[in-house]
Structure 1
């Protein structure tokens, strides 16, 4: 009878572990990894909607610059807005340190009659280290029936891979997106975003572009 009670307790314990794991997976899958945390709109904007926007990602990482500017351009174009990437007009070179000169950008956008500049910048990064406990801990038990014979022990434990605890790092990236009027060079709109441990640069970039352009449309900055 004691052995049966121990088996029931162990089964309930294992079932609870599986249930907690499934709930964690579901909640993690539902939680958005990238989200806008705040926006600001210039009260003196006058309700102007922009039709021709230059996208400028403020980073020396060429791959990140290309990805972010491409996804922002795609979202703008989906709304009928003519968007351009700064990396096309000012491609990186081996001798160049930093991005293109600000005067060059302004001269180019005015020459091609763009009416706004949309900048994307990484403001900060935080790393959180946390411990993830394993599924099983060592607990020597000799009264269970499967310990007495190899067949029972092997059949019970072989499908259960030992899962030790481990440490994992979770990164949070804080970004800022600003929209500037080309004519006055004044800030018209700003959004702050947070991206929590994105699975890939491309996925985070696409989500950021969708959220940013969608909120800009909601706030009347684009169609």
Structure 2
């Protein structure tokens, strides 16, 4: 009997630790009523991340997801391989970039940034904890692509038998990502057409997260 209890406890702990692995949670979304108008646009996909490998992975997966949905999307590392996208730039540089994007036929931009990274200390007892979203539901200051693109950059790379209750304290790495879509053909303060804010907990690597993240983002845009 003791052996059966031991085996069961081990199994439950295995399931518990598995469920505490990497997860992607959409914490907030918004999209314009006429977002479908962007679906026919030529879209430039940008991921503002410190290391080129993470940038390429996220841009590749997001552009692939958009293409599978019938949209014309191109990763910025392919379109502009010599351009560093993850740095603060002044207004003049922003205008130069926008003029370049438009002259190359891009009518919309899907921009992904890592907004924050932090470590949480969690205590979990018999079934876990619930952590709320980070992002407020107001996007009034995001209206113009140039304002967001020029000022914000990402400073991050990227678990009928009684079982006694137990408590576990552990650390989790929390990444807060945001993908915003702008229609460059609209007036400056009306260019924002979609926002998806997400929380990624304990990612193993960019390679393991980029594809499911892209699918979650696309689901929010198209549903």
TM-score, normalised on structure 2?
A: 0.65
Structure 1 runs not aligned, ≥5 long: 1-7, 133-165, 219-223
- Kept in 1, the 8 Å contact 2:25–2:198? The answer is yes
Aligned residue in 1 for 2:205: 200
Aligned residues: 173
Larger Rg over CA atoms: 1
Structure 1 moving runs of 4+ over 3 Å:
10-13, 25-29, 129-132, 166-169
Give the superposition deviation at 1:91. 2.4
- Kept in 2, the 8 Å contact 1:37–1:193? The answer is yes
- Kept in 1, the 8 Å contact 2:180–2:195? The answer is yes
- Kept in 1, the 8 Å contact 2:31–2:221? The answer is no
How far, CA to CA, are the matches of 2:23 and 2:205 in structure 1? 11
How far, CA to CA, are the matches of 1:210 and 1:53 in structure 2? 17
- Indicate yes or no: 2:27 matched with 1:37: yes
Give the superposition deviation at 1:26. 5.5
- Indicate yes or no: 2:96 matched with 1:116: no
How far, CA to CA, are the matches of 1:38 and 1:122 in structure 2? 15
How far, CA to CA, are the matches of 1:99 and 1:63 in structure 2? 20
- Kept in 1, the 8 Å contact 2:38–2:183? The answer is no
How far, CA to CA, are the matches of 1:89 and 1:127 in structure 2? 35
- Kept in 2, the 8 Å contact 1:54–1:118? The answer is yes
Aligned residue in 1 for 2:180: 178
Aligned residue in 2 for 1:98: 87
Could you give the per-residue CA deviations for residues 31-87 of structure 1, whole angstroms, max 9, x where no partner exists? x711212101235x4752422210111223211111111111111111221111222
Matched residue of 1:48: which SS? Answer: helix
Q: Supply the RMSD in Å over aligned alpha carbons.
A: 3.0
- Kept in 1, the 8 Å contact 2:45–2:74? The answer is yes
How far, CA to CA, are the matches of 1:97 and 1:68 in structure 2? 14
How far, CA to CA, are the matches of 2:108 and 2:36 in structure 1? 14
Aligned residue in 1 for 2:119: 127
Give the superposition deviation at 1:13. 5.4
- Kept in 1, the 8 Å contact 2:177–2:197? The answer is yes
